[in-house]
Structure 1
Amino acid sequence: MMFRNIISLVLLIISVILNFKHGWDTFNYKKNSGSDNIMNELGITEPMIPFLGIFTIIIGILLMMPKTYFIGNLLNASSILLIMALALQAGNYKIALIEIPFLALPLIMIGLKYPFRN
């Protein structure tokens, strides 16, 4: 039981950090030409970018609270699935394949449940 909680906590920390990092990077996409190219290739328009950044940060916040842990993971998995679908639509199979472990992360976290919850 304790081992499961430790694994769950480690995955939670990784997921929250990734969400905050990706949210922050989304707001600063123009500083990174690679991000700009990927957004254009996936068909993500410039007006959608702030919403995507805010959404990603909100997911990170939802993951930290026990009552919103499940919905945060569900939204996280959905957003990753959306990115994979957009990549496949654009014909970029590399991005879709790279996202598979990131899709597995919230699904595993749902199964492990929130760490140290009574």
Structure 2
Amino acid sequence: MPHCIIEYSATLDGDIFTSKVYQGALDSMLFEPDGSDIKVRALSYNSYIVGGCKTDFVHVTVRILFGRSLLQKTVLSKSIQAKLSELDLVSCSITIEVVDIERSSYLKWLV
């Protein structure tokens, strides 16, 4: 079910992040074993400031349905971190956050 949203500076190649984040979410073992419920998308930014200057960044937001424990959320973020750390990024700020989605207001349908 997770929605993994990768935001990154446009000077980086976004295609390198999607498979790493997908694999990190899959490796956490918190979702379907075949990964069929993991959704990953990436957005690049041309306009940004990090710490007062234009430094490369990657920020991953993982939105999951409410109900996971703090330990499970930590496992998820660390699993994604492990995959992203395999990349040869230099002078780049990398952050990951796991955010709860309220079950009562979340809607999904297939058309």
With the length of structure 1 as denominator, give the TM-score of the two structures.
0.33
Larger helix share, 1 or 2: 1
* Structure holding more strand per residue: 2
